[in-house]
Amino acid sequence: MFDLHVFSQRREQFLAQLGGAAAVIPAATMVKHHADCDYPFRQNSDFWYLTGFDEPDAVALFLPHRPLGKQFVLFVLPKEPGIEIWDGSRWGTEGAIDQFGADIAHPIDELPKRLGDYLKGADGIAFRVGKHPKVESLVLRIWSDHLDSLQRSGSAAIPLVAPCPFLHRQRLRKRPEELERMREAARISAEAHELARNFARPGMNERQVQAIIEQHFLQQGARGPAYSSIVAGGDNACVLHYTSNNSVLNDGDLLLIDAGCSLVDYYNGDITRTFPINGCFTSEQRAIYEVVLASQEAAIRGICPGQDAEQVHAIAVRVMVEGLLDLGLLRGDLDSLIEQGAYRHLYMHRTGHWLGLDVHDVGAYRLGEHPIELEKGMVLTVEPGVYISDRLPVPEGQPAIEERWKGIGIRVEDDVLVDEQGADVLTKAAVKSIDLLQR
Ligand SMILES: [Mn+2]
């Protein structure tokens, strides 16, 4: 976990970008699972990134219009022994100042009466509408009151803006201390995949393999899975977000596992591996696997500063379509197939996404017409796949799929750090070469 200094550095950078607007960033709140049971708490990543404070129902204010030493205000749940005996201890206002570096802290129930004063004099209000209804109604009321007052006060209307553009630009570029945590998440996630492959045997249930993976996450001190683990035998792998994980693993099928851990400080791994359950590829499985792996490795080789994620996707698609043409699963001219997207019944998703505190991490992929250039310190996944089933219609002019291919779903996914040399594959400890996947 980071020390205070890391968070205060982030706040400084954020405050400097606000351009005089006051930012209101709420924490997450508890969400009901059923009856009186909640889902496990998951902090809002923006709030976490700026505060390191891991309790629900807090609100952080960033007030660049106020003097130094009065710019970071935290509203938190107050100390209350009668509640803490049930729900666990709270830092309270004192802890918010001593442990988390708040300049000023208040109990959260004082937010309605204090927020207006804190926002006074700011050049704008930076708040993300549509996500936090309780805080939103307060912010909108204050903004509306301000607009009502203009007629008499003679001052100019201040805008309500979104904090995400600056904040997410900042989060997209990982600093060295964050990369260390990303490496740790990658290490644990890769180890779990190795354990799972060595454990899986025909006749087992998918969730027994899921148990091995998630046990390792917890055993290594991670918070748990970063997202619902996908453990998909055979044709189940053709459902991209298959998470029921409750089928028997058949001899002769492949097993696709898409799983990664989330650390206690929320940095995530996201790995997919696909391997034969009985340790031996059939010739069809091997042929498709070779195409997917070639596509993935070519895409990774294409990563370096100055390239962009769309070019990486384009490389993956080109190698993929070439391979599928060779196998007779596609027919026609390479360039027109790509242009028409005539491969999308077999490969229907993008090649990757940013990775960080969110699994599909924040940060723009494009700025208007211009794709965002890859820079040192960005982390992205590279995850092409081929899914062969009857679920989608074969596009006109493309060959009907022979039975022998059906039920093959293969994806290979790594987490890749952009560095000066190009790509640093954080998850390479999870093996993916055909030789190493066979027993
Ligand atoms: Mn992914």
Instruction: Specify whether 36 is catalytic.
Output: yes
Contact 355, 379 (CB under 8 A): yes
Give the pLDDT confidence score for residue 160 in this predicted structure.
97
Distance 353 CA to ligand 1 centre (A): 7
Within 10 A of 214 (CB to CB), how many other CB atoms are there? 20
Q: What is the spatial distance between Cα 174 and Cα 81, in angstroms, rounded to a whole number?
A: 39
List alpha helices for 154-175, DSSP H: 164-172
Mean per-residue pLDDT for 358-379? 95
379-402: burial string, b at 16+ Cβ within 10 Å, e else: bbbbbbbbbbbeeeeeeeebeebe
Q: What is the spatial distance between Cα 190 and Cα 187, in angstroms, rounded to a whole number?
A: 5
Distance 170 CA to ligand 1 centre (A): 21
Q: What is the spatial distance between Cα 180 and Cα 186, in angstroms, rounded to a whole number?
A: 10
Distance 239 CA to ligand 1 centre (A): 14
pLDDT tens digits, one per residue of 14-73? 999 999 999 999 999 999 999 999 999 999 999 999 999 999 999 999 999 999 999 999
Distance 417 CA to ligand 1 centre (A): 14
Show the tokens assigned to 212.
């091995």
Place of tokens 């208040």: 106
Q: Which of 46, 54, 265, 413 is catalytic?
A: 413
Going by the DSSP 8-state scheme, the letter that residue 205 receives in this structure is B
Query: Percentage of the chain with pLDDT > 90?
Result: 96
Q: What is the spatial distance between Cα 289 and Cα 254, in angstroms, rounded to a whole number?
A: 10
Instruction: Specify whether 383 is catalytic.
Output: yes
Contact 417, 424 (CB under 8 A): yes
Instruction: Specify whether 270 is catalytic.
Output: yes
Q: What is the spatial distance between Cα 156 and Cα 214, in angstroms, rounded to a whole number?
A: 55
Distance 261 CA to ligand 1 centre (A): 12
The CA-atom distances, in angstroms, between 313 and each of 81, 153, 227, 353, 388 are 54, 54, 23, 10, 20
Give the pLDDT confidence score for residue 302 in this predicted structure.
97
Residue 136 has pLDDT above 90, yes or no: yes
Distance 430 CA to ligand 1 centre (A): 15
Give bridge partners of residue 23 from the DSSP assignment.
62, 126
Mean per-residue pLDDT for 351-376? 95
Mean per-residue pLDDT for 297-321? 97
Residue 371 has pLDDT above 80, yes or no: yes
Instruction: Round to the nearest angstrom and report the end-to-end CA distance of the chain.
Output: 39
Place of tokens 């993935």: 296
Instruction: Specify whether 413 is catalytic.
Output: yes
Instruction: Specify whether 411 is catalytic.
Output: yes
Distance 247 CA to ligand 1 centre (A): 23
Q: List all residues 6 or more positions away from 56 whose beta carbon is below 8 Å from its beta carbon.
A: 27, 28, 29, 30, 41, 43, 77
Query: Percentage of the chain with pLDDT > 70?
Result: 100
Distance 390 CA to ligand 1 centre (A): 24
Distance 266 CA to ligand 1 centre (A): 16
Mean per-residue pLDDT for 165-177? 95
Q: Which of 258, 322, 414, 424 is catalytic?
A: 258
Residue 300 has pLDDT above 90, yes or no: yes
Show the tokens assigned to 156.
């100019």
The CA-atom distances, in angstroms, between 72 and each of 65, 367, 383 are 11, 30, 40
Predicted model pTM? 0.96
Instruction: Specify whether 216 is catalytic.
Output: no
Give the model's confidence band at 152: pLDDT under 50 very low, under 70 low, under 90 confident, else very high.
confident
Distance 272 CA to ligand 1 centre (A): 8
Give the model's confidence band at 101: pLDDT under 50 very low, under 70 low, under 90 confident, else very high.
very high
Q: Which of 383, 414, 415, 424 is catalytic?
A: 383
Q: Which of 353, 358, 361, 414 is catalytic?
A: 353
Mean per-residue pLDDT for 364-387? 95
Instruction: Specify whether 387 is catalytic.
Output: yes
Higher pLDDT: 339 or 3? It is 339
Instruction: Specify whether 366 is catalytic.
Output: no
Task: Tell me the backbone φ, ψ of residue 337, rounded to 5 degrees.
Answer: -60, -45
Distance 25 CA to ligand 1 centre (A): 27
Q: Which of 136, 349, 373, 419 is catalytic?
A: 349
Closest of 174, 152, 123 to residue 17, by C-alpha? 123
Give the model's confidence band at 1: pLDDT under 50 very low, under 70 low, under 90 confident, else very high.
low
Closest of 154, 161, 85, 83 to residue 125, by C-alpha? 161
Q: What is the spatial distance between Cα 248 and Cα 207, in angstroms, rounded to a whole number?
A: 9
Q: Which of 118, 387, 414, 424 is catalytic?
A: 387
Give the pLDDT confidence score for residue 14 in this predicted structure.
97
Domains and CATH numbers, the chain: 4-169 (3.40.350.10), 174-437 (3.90.230.10)
Q: What is the spatial distance between Cα 1 and Cα 331, in angstroms, rounded to a whole number?
A: 53
Distance 212 CA to ligand 1 centre (A): 20
For the sheet containing 422-425, what is the strand order? Answer: 379-382, 414-419, 422-425
The whole-chain average pLDDT of the chain stands at 97
Q: Which of 301, 360, 391, 404 is catalytic?
A: 360
Residue 271 has pLDDT above 70, yes or no: yes
Instruction: Specify whether 345 is catalytic.
Output: no
